[in-house]
């Protein structure tokens, strides 16, 4: 395999970057926005401006409803919506603007039996490993059936970002859960998702799949696509985009992403 290169957002030459890429994708939580929270006004304006300059995609393990709250409600008609591509549940669903509304162009849902098996395995192993917390410690849904993805969130979907980061800082708990569930479900892909989550999807589905589908949709080679995310470590869910050959950029949070987008816009203006 070719060497996987991850670029730090603050070491990128933005004029060089915009010469290298024809499209760019972003992770959502802890990249474009705080986990489960809407984009800030500043991010919505900068991100919308970027959509007027090149095709932009958002790829996240989250469901489409989060895209509506975190992105669509914030950008309104500021963005060039025909240039925006929304890929929830790691690209197993794809939404594009048809001139009047956001329309689902494809959805690769799991077989009902596989969905039931995933829920059973996640529940059983989480309880066996002491990761099934009392109800008063959980905020929001603990296991969510997203159709094309089953997601276990140890603290619940709506737990605060601080609580999520504190719960499993070295990722050992959720990585161990993912490994146990993967042994039960060899026909599916089981992987660590966000900071407290484990995702179950169809075999071979991760963000490398999403970036390859984006390449096909835009007719742009993968190596001419950038991807920005906060989980670019080898066990992170953004790392597969780098393995696929995208120009991968690591950020530590939305503030970094905002500075990067502004840097790209400035470079485009100068260019």
Q: Which positions are annotated as active-site residues?
A: 27, 29
Please name every residue paired with 191 in a beta bridge, in sequence order, or none if there are none.
199
| Cα dihedral value 49, 50, 56, 62, nearest 10 | -60
Q: Is 208 annotated as a binding residue?
A: no
Q: Is 113 annotated as a binding residue?
A: no
Q: Is 230 annotated as a binding residue?
A: yes
Tell me if 200 sits within 8 A of 181, measured CB to CB. yes
Tell me if 50 sits within 8 A of 261, measured CB to CB. yes
Tell me if 86 sits within 8 A of 95, measured CB to CB. yes
CA distances from 50 to 46, 80, 161, 229, 267 (A): 6, 9, 27, 16, 12
CA distances from 226 to 115, 124, 162, 171, 195 (A): 32, 39, 28, 26, 23
Q: Is 146 annotated as a binding residue?
A: yes
Q: Is 170 annotated as a binding residue?
A: no
Binding site residue list: 27, 29, 146, 197, 199, 230
Name the binding residues for Mg(2+): 27, 29, 230
């Amino acid at each position: 395999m070719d060497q996987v290169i991850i670029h730090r957002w603050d070491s990128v030459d933005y004029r060089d970057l915009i010469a290298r890429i024809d499209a760019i994708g972003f992770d959502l939580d802890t990249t474009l926005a705080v986990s489960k929270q809407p984009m800030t006004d500043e991010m919505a304006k900068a991100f919308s401006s970027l959509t007027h300059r090149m095709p932009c995609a958002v790829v996240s393990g989250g469901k489409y409803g989060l895209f509506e709250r975190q992105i669509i409600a914030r950008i309104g008609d500021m963005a060039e919506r025909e240039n925006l591509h929304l890929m929830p549940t790691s690209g197993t669903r794809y939404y594009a603007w048809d001139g009047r509304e956001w329309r689902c162009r494809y959805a690769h849902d799991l077989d009902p039996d596989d969905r039931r098996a995933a829920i059973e395995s996640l529940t059983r192993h989480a309880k066996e490993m002491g990761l099934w917390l009392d109800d008063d410690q959980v905020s929001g849904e603990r296991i969510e059936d997203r159709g094309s993805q089953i997601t276990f969130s140890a603290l619940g979907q709506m737990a605060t970002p601080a609580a999520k980061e504190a719960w499993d800082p070295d990722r050992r708990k959720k990585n161990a859960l993912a490994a146990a569930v993967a042994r039960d479900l060899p026909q599916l892909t089981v992987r660590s998702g966000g900071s407290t989550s484990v995702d179950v999807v169809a075999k071979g589905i991760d963000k490398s799949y999403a970036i390859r589908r984006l390449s096909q949709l835009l007719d742009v080679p993968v190596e001419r696509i950038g991807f920005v995310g906060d989980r670019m470590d080898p066990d992170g869910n953004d790392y597969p985009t780098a393995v696929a050959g995208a120009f991968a950029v690591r950020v530590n949070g939305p503030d970094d992403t905002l500075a990067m987008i502004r840097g790209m816009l400035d470079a485009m203006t100068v260019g």
